[in-house]
Structure 1
Amino acid sequence: MAASFYLYLRPGLPEVEQLADIKLQTPLRVYSADERLIAEFGEKRRAPITIEQIPTIQLHAFLAAEDSNFYSHMGVDFKGLLRAAIELVTTGHIQSGGSTITMQVAKNYFLSRDRTFIRKFNEILLAVQIERELEKNEILELYLNKIYLGNRAYGLQAAAQVYYDKKVKELSLAQMAMLAGLPKAPSAYNPLVNPERALIRRNWILGRMQDLGYISEDAYQLASNAELTASYNAPATEVDADYVAEMARAEMVKRFGDAAYTDGYVVTLTVDSRKQQTATEALRNGLEAYEERHGYRGPIGTIEDPSQPEATLLAELSNYPRIEDLSPALVQQVNDEDNQAHLLVRGLGAATLAMDTMTWASRHRTVNYTGPKPSKPSDVVSPGDVVYVKEVRTTTPPEAMPDDSTSQTMPNKPTVALSQLPEVQGALISLEAETGAIEALSGGYSFGQSKYNRAIQATRQPGSAFKPFLYLAALENGMSPATVFNDAPIVFDDDQLASAWRPKNSSGQFYGPTRLREALYRSRNLVSIRLLRDLGIDTTMNFLEQLRIPTGNMQRDLSLALGSGLLTPLDVARGFAVIANGGYDVTPYLIQQVKDGQGKVVYQAPEVVHCNWRCPEHDPEHPGIRYAQRLADPKAVYLLHSMMRDVVRRGTGRRALALGRSDIAGKTGTTNDQRDTWFSGFNHRIATTVWLGYDQPTPMGRGEYGGSTALPVWLEYMKVALEDTPSAFMPQPNGLVSVRIDPRTGQRALPGQEGAVFEVFREENAPPPLETANGSHGNGNHLPQELF
């Protein structure tokens, strides 16, 4: 009869050779360029491991728990099967199973989990086949990588991380036995869910290990008396980079479909973990600083009776989300005499809120007005208020620590600072100028709060941050930094407008004839408008397209000079990277390398090679190279670098002088009513753009300009990004000369003229030599220092 069953079932059984090709469902892991884990995606947490990486004592724990005769049987435990058969006859179904490890491999890899006789017979046949074709250690390795051990952990290595935050080789004997007890019933023996049953199961396994001679009596006693140490450990991400992680996930799904979540891909990004962490924190700090300048909006909720039992209050606080470092807290008492309030903080417990952390909390009225500065805690908070706070981490010197008697009577409550969730938002993106590699990116205050990635999705007006592109067009079309335009009132009548357009400078004043260099570093709007009018809309738009700046959301009128078009922060950052690297095309990219589950490189970002003007789109002989074409004349770009360094030295970007570097250039940007604020800055190696504003464009308030909102964020990031790096200037191309000029006219200065300044020109655009009284060029009469 058994032979009949075999002949009936054998044609439908899978081939054992398929085990060699089966891909374990392993999650997608995303790492920074310096190999720090950023994120893990996938339903099943699994980290495949080889049998050689597993300690022998751990193998013994599983054999004692599941199949002590594993190395001696031929795949089937007939005593166990007989017991299962008796159960089938007496109860009508199988209860204990009687499966060997080999049979479990057959079931886990090939069969359903249905408890039926046919499935059991298939399991037996497959187990016998597996034993014939695979070594015992190969079978055991398959088993330990496939088994489900609870809490989304599949396989031994994943379980070690989930329950103990360790690698398998780091586990104690007691922990090894605990994991070995999970395959039988991952829920029933889960140490997080049923610690008492898990402890009984663990100690039974330890007893079996002693009986089988795997461990000594002393080892058994020590391990069986060990306390339970299991706790839930989420994937140990090392970098706060949720927006970057989501970009990588979306790109992987686009490339590989749903297999991206299961096939064990390992993605290495271009971001540096230290720079990325700094970018995340700098943007949050900048948004919080803006919020504090504009006052406290009040509690996020109230609890009518703050004297209820702590468990009840904590349950109510759980209705308010924790967002990044912000924790919801209930104000229980306010003590003006002690200048503090007493709070119950979700996740922290009782805490103290000192007045000196609330001095910023004048009541918010509008973006332009706040109430009076608070002088005591009750001016800010009241019992029953639910507020957001941050823990204040302080290091107390040893001499300030209380003695034993004091510490018993004065519990050391943690100190927190009042905060609030920002309504304003922002983005930061930093590019390696030569290649376009994204070195850091943050798309908002919190990905958990909002998945909207403003760095790549928000289309906003760049304001004066657009002007460098306009000025580069002028320099490409024969103008120079010394070209003079009149900074004077101008009025435009338009039938489409309710009233005439009267653009003005941010100061409201007019300054008369102004050189382009000064107009740029002082961000003179009227000069920019006249410059665009002289260049022509078509010429300017054609040049923007040459630079590959998106023009689809730009109006073809003179408001373009003031940055009225719409660009994303990534668009702006990319344009500044083109300027930074000397005029070569930039294609921003995030993924540096992708490996499959077997460690094979399936994608490598191409090497970027600069080329002048004519570049092959595809080079079959060099598929690993991407050619970056020159988009702008190097002499014009060098002149612009010089002008934009003056934005930092003497213009609207002076705060960037705090870096103490001479190679920094940049441009601020602020739109009408301060709805968008920008700072983009660079040296020859790195270009970084920061934007701040409301998601729904709203005035940010008087005094909020690119130099006061965006630039401090940029500065905090760039202090780290440029730390210990040498100065990086664009090399000066041939064909440029330096000439002393009259700063009022832009023409060559007279010999000995006071107030003359040096300016850089293309040779063909330099001011002509001055005529002397006898009609000759007075070059021979110039002092040596006047020849440059």
Structure 2
Amino acid sequence: MSKSSEHYDDDRDDSDKPQGSRILRFFLKLTILGAGLLACGALLGGMALALAWPNLPDLNAMTDYRPRVPLRIYTADKVLIGEFGEERRNVLRFNEIPDVMKSAVLSAEDDRFYQHGGIDWFGVVRAGLTNLMSMQKAQGASTITMQVARNFYLSSEKTFSRKFYELLLTFKIEASLTKDQILELYLNQIYLGNRAYGFAAASRTYLGKPLSDLTAADAALLAGIPKAPSRFNPIANKPRAVVRQRYVLGRMHSLGYLTDAEYKAALAQPVVIKSAEGTPAGGYAVHGEYAAELARQLMISVYPDNVYSRGLNVYTTIQSKDQEWAYQSLREGVLDYTRRAPYPGPEAQLTMPAGIENDPAKLDEFLDGVFDKYHDRTEMLIGVVLSVKPDEIRVARSASEIISIKDKKALGVIARALNPKAPPELRLQRGSVVYLHKSPDYWEILNMPTVQSAFVALTPQDGALRAMVGGFDFYHGNFNRVTQAWRQPGSSFKPFIYAASLERGLTPNTMISDMPFELSAEQTGSKAWSPKNYGGQYEPMLTMREAIAKSKNMVSIRILQSIGPKYAQEYITRFGFDKSRHAAVLPMALGAGSVTPMQLATGFAVFANGGYRITPYLIDKVTDANDQVIMQAKPVIAGDASARAIDPRTAYVMDDMLRGVATSGTAARAKQVLKRNDLAGKTGTTNESVDAWFAGYTPQLVGVAWLGYDQPKSLGSRETGGGAALPVWMGYMQNALKAFPEEKRPGPPDGLIVEGGNFYFSEFPPGQSVTKIGLPEKDSLGDFLNNIGGSKR
């Protein structure tokens, strides 16, 4: 056979060759092709890796972890009361994070974290099979390391290039950090909804407790959030969060992190969310919102750049227990006033379908519509009346929460709304939208308070603020009435006029006319003026001590006239008052000027500390992210000669007279309730009872309470400082003064003569002091002015 023939034979169709030979040749070709493709793929992959690896970010952000830490505000005893910034964080070291939190996260997110090298191939296969069987993406295979890579450096866009970089970065992280370091970063960095980054911040935000106090149920609730922070956080969707929590607990149990008993106990633990409105918001254990906001404003004025991300810690002078006592006392004072005031009727009247309460699903759907329009407010909860009887009102919050109002006191508050003859807009009936409040012993229906209040307490020795509540509800208007509300002080201002008179020769035993009078328009230069005593009661003559105890207006006016309004206007600046807000006219004696509660507290501190003017301060110190002190307060202390405001004799005598007010005067209830002899203070009620005040103190603590409407109007003809504001002060002091034992009153200072139960300044000894002002038989102040003529009587 020729070569050409042989060549031809080689190229012939091989159909006549054995079947096995053909298959072998096919697989040989396929193998060669596959090897070629693999080689090309490896070459391309190597080129991509060679190009991408140098462009991967270094890990400085991880190895030198410095997240954006917000501005935090603390009480003096280190209780967090405020946090300001785009991200809430609490960075903890690995050994500071409880094991139950670690095990919950591992169970929920990556149970093979300590076995794989960054990518859990077993998990990838498992997720793929699960998704294939369900024909949807039911499971993912993202490991904790992959999530760390994504959170630190990458976007969440779903592209092949992003995924490729994520895988490469995952390998780099695993090669550079230990497993514990990676898990620590994850636990501190992951976003968990509601501006909370990391589980320590989430624990505060959702549960109101530090991470160290978490139970297994708590940890499982938090560990369920990363899957979908917007859907699984317990504020956004509590039922879904609870379902997810149950799943995590099951995983913890099956993986051996929980025993049978621990698992059952965790399932039985109720889920209580403590950051919802109506509880200490944001997980704060103390209602210090007004103090925290003021501290924030002060910090911005001092550190305007990056104040919300530098990790600054502000330690205020606020005492956490004092703050909570003040908060509770103020709210109860406002609610008590609201109970006394006429009930104005329900918030709205809706038509409720008959029998809807027998269908839970329909009732809840109806109530959901109500709650979309009417909202719960702090400790005041919206409900809809189901039925009204003379001895019981049934109110629905949900199909499973029907509240019965039966208490006689509670029904008495809304008696006018239960009268069938009451106008429709006032009457309570089926479908009425009402606010509910839980008192210690029973539920009650109350209207949302429209009256406001303020309270501030400070230490008279240095001005450190111990408590400050600027209104009834910070979350519905953060206007701080302690520092921003300028109100007429009424009779609470009288002590400063009395103090001025002591330095002009008057004594506690000076006799002064209390008879009424009238000034004509010609005498005042504007319009006629005929001031009156509260209650219309007048006495011929009273001592100055008696007059301040009884808060007599006629006496105060005559004292001011005797010393001169101009002199008094200058004198009050020693206490920190702005003289431009106190015109040099006779109504100044009745507190016709303007003060803030903070100013009034500062003024009374002068009487409490022996005559020194202190400056109220809120911030004690500021530390940076490394806990280094960068600012420290240096307050002026009472006793510093440079802070002397008034004569120590004046302070001593005024303190003596103000103790009389709290013993037998308009504030006598203070001693009856608190049972102390070192109490002093002054009630204040302005014309037509627009403002109600009580300013009181002991040598260790000053407190001022105010009650009134933001848009000034009468509180009611029977409302006074002693009835409306004094209870707020006492409610706080009952608790706060337990830390301050009663002090024995010191002896009189040098230059003060004590004779016959009276006090005399050495320059105005007996026989040379002012003994009498005004004539009881005269009813014209014009005649009175002619009689005193500036002489001593």
TM-score, length basis structure 2: 0.75
What is the match of residue 368 of structure 1? none
What secondary structure is seen at the aligned counterpart in 2 of 1:539?
A: helix
Which residues of structure 1 form unaligned runs of 5+? 85-93, 365-370, 395-414, 615-628, 741-757, 771-788
In structure 2, which of residues 556, 572, 584 is the aligned counterpart of residue 556 of structure 1?
A: 584
2:610 matches 1:578 = no
Bigger shift: residues 674-683 or 171-180: 171-180
What is the match of residue 774 of structure 1? none
In structure 2, which of residues 664, 668, 671 is the aligned counterpart of residue 650 of structure 1?
A: 664
Contact 1:572-1:689 within 8 A present in 2 as well: yes
What is the match of residue 62 of structure 2? 19
Structure 1 residues 193-208: aligned runs within 5 Å: 194=240, 198=244, 202=248
Question: What is the rounded CA distance, in whole Å, between the counterparts of 2:543 and 2:183 in structure 1?
Answer: 79
What secondary structure is seen at the aligned counterpart in 2 of 1:556?
A: coil
What is the match of residue 342 of structure 1? 394
Contact 2:346-2:427 within 8 A present in 1 as well: no
Relative distance call for 1:372 and 1:2 in structure 2 (3 A) is: closer
What is the match of residue 458 of structure 2? 431
What is the match of residue 487 of structure 2? 460
Structure 1 residues 73-84: aligned runs within 5 Å: none
Q: How far apart are residue 767 of structure 1 and its match? A: 0.5
Structure 1 residues 206-355: aligned runs within 5 Å: 215=256, 227=267, 232-234=273-275, 235-257=282-304, 259-305=306-352, 307=354, 308-309=356-357, 310-318=363-371, 319-336=373-390, 339-345=391-397, 348-355=401-408
Structure 1 residues 34-45: aligned runs within 5 Å: 34-45=77-88
Query: Per-residue displacement from partner, 1:388-446 (whole Å, max 9, x unpaired)?
Result: 3333554xxxxxxxxxxxxxxxxxxxx52232222322212111111112222222222
More helix by share: 2
What is the match of residue 633 of structure 1? 647
Count of residue correspondences: 695
Q: How far apart are residue 151 of structure 1 and its match? A: 5.5
TM-score, length basis structure 1: 0.76
Percent sequence identity over aligned pairs? 37
What is the match of residue 692 of structure 1? 707
Bigger shift: residues 317-326 or 35-44: 35-44
Query: Per-residue displacement from partner, 1:572-627 (whole Å, max 9, x unpaired)?
Result: 1111112211111221122334444444444443354334444xxxxxxxxxxxxx
Bigger shift: residues 288-297 or 151-160: 151-160
What is the match of residue 663 of structure 1? 678
Question: What is the rounded CA distance, in whole Å, between the counterparts of 1:166 and 1:648 in structure 2?
Answer: 41
2:764 matches 1:737 = no
Contact 2:679-2:697 within 8 A present in 1 as well: yes
Question: What is the rounded CA distance, in whole Å, between the counterparts of 1:363 and 1:196 in structure 2?
Answer: 43
Q: How far apart are residue 461 of structure 1 and its match? A: 0.8
2:499 matches 1:472 = yes
Question: What is the rounded CA distance, in whole Å, between the counterparts of 1:464 and 1:611 in structure 2?
Answer: 29
Relative distance call for 1:729 and 1:458 in structure 2 (3 A) is: farther
Query: Per-residue displacement from partner, 1:689-746 (whole Å, max 9, x unpaired)?
Result: 1112221111222222222222222222222222363223563322222111xxxxxx
Relative distance call for 1:317 and 1:225 in structure 2 (3 A) is: same
What is the match of residue 761 of structure 1? 760
What is the match of residue 147 of structure 1? 190
Relative distance call for 1:167 and 1:150 in structure 2 (3 A) is: same
What is the match of residue 775 of structure 2? none
2:532 matches 1:504 = yes
What is the match of residue 156 of structure 2? 113
2:754 matches 1:726 = no
Question: What is the rounded CA distance, in whole Å, between the counterparts of 1:311 and 1:69 in structure 2?
Answer: 43
Relative distance call for 1:602 and 1:135 in structure 2 (3 A) is: farther
Relative distance call for 1:199 and 1:103 in structure 2 (3 A) is: closer
Q: How far apart are residue 759 of structure 1 and its match? A: 0.5
Structure showing greater radius of gyration is 2
2:540 matches 1:541 = no
Relative distance call for 1:333 and 1:65 in structure 2 (3 A) is: closer
Question: What is the rounded CA distance, in whole Å, between the counterparts of 1:373 and 1:717 in structure 2?
Answer: 41
In structure 2, which of residues 393, 410, 430 is the aligned counterpart of residue 357 of structure 1?
A: 410
Relative distance call for 1:4 and 1:604 in structure 2 (3 A) is: farther
Letter in 1 for 2:331: R
Relative distance call for 1:334 and 1:133 in structure 2 (3 A) is: closer
Relative distance call for 1:711 and 1:569 in structure 2 (3 A) is: same
What is the match of residue 776 of structure 1? none
Question: What is the rounded CA distance, in whole Å, between the counterparts of 1:294 and 1:280 in structure 2?
Answer: 21
Contact 1:432-1:686 within 8 A present in 2 as well: yes
Contact 1:578-1:584 within 8 A present in 2 as well: yes
2:469 matches 1:442 = yes
2:539 matches 1:524 = no
What is the match of residue 90 of structure 2? 47
Letter in 2 for 1:566: S
Contact 2:209-2:283 within 8 A present in 1 as well: no
What secondary structure is seen at the aligned counterpart in 1 of 2:436?
A: strand
What secondary structure is seen at the aligned counterpart in 2 of 1:669?
A: strand
What is the match of residue 3 of structure 2? none
The RMSD of aligned alpha carbons is 4.4
Question: What is the rounded CA distance, in whole Å, between the counterparts of 1:558 and 1:13 in structure 2?
Answer: 79
Question: What is the rounded CA distance, in whole Å, between the counterparts of 1:226 and 1:709 in structure 2?
Answer: 47
What is the match of residue 595 of structure 2? 567
Letter in 2 for 1:670: T
Letter in 2 for 1:735: G
Question: What is the rounded CA distance, in whole Å, between the counterparts of 2:109 and 2:719 in structure 1?
Answer: 68
Which residues of structure 2 form unaligned runs of 5+? 1-43, 128-136, 276-281, 358-362, 770-793
Letter in 2 for 1:642: D
Query: Per-residue displacement from partner, 1:536-565 (whole Å, max 9, x unpaired)?
Result: 233222222233212232222222121111
What secondary structure is seen at the aligned counterpart in 1 of 2:713?
A: coil
What secondary structure is seen at the aligned counterpart in 2 of 1:427?
A: strand
Q: How far apart are residue 121 of structure 1 and its match? A: 5.4
Contact 1:306-1:330 within 8 A present in 2 as well: no
Q: How far apart are residue 289 of structure 1 and its match? A: 2.8
Contact 2:458-2:601 within 8 A present in 1 as well: yes
Letter in 2 for 1:636: T
What secondary structure is seen at the aligned counterpart in 1 of 2:615?
A: coil
What is the match of residue 409 of structure 1? none
What secondary structure is seen at the aligned counterpart in 2 of 1:765?
A: coil
Question: What is the rounded CA distance, in whole Å, between the counterparts of 1:289 and 1:62 in structure 2?
Answer: 48
Relative distance call for 1:206 and 1:519 in structure 2 (3 A) is: closer
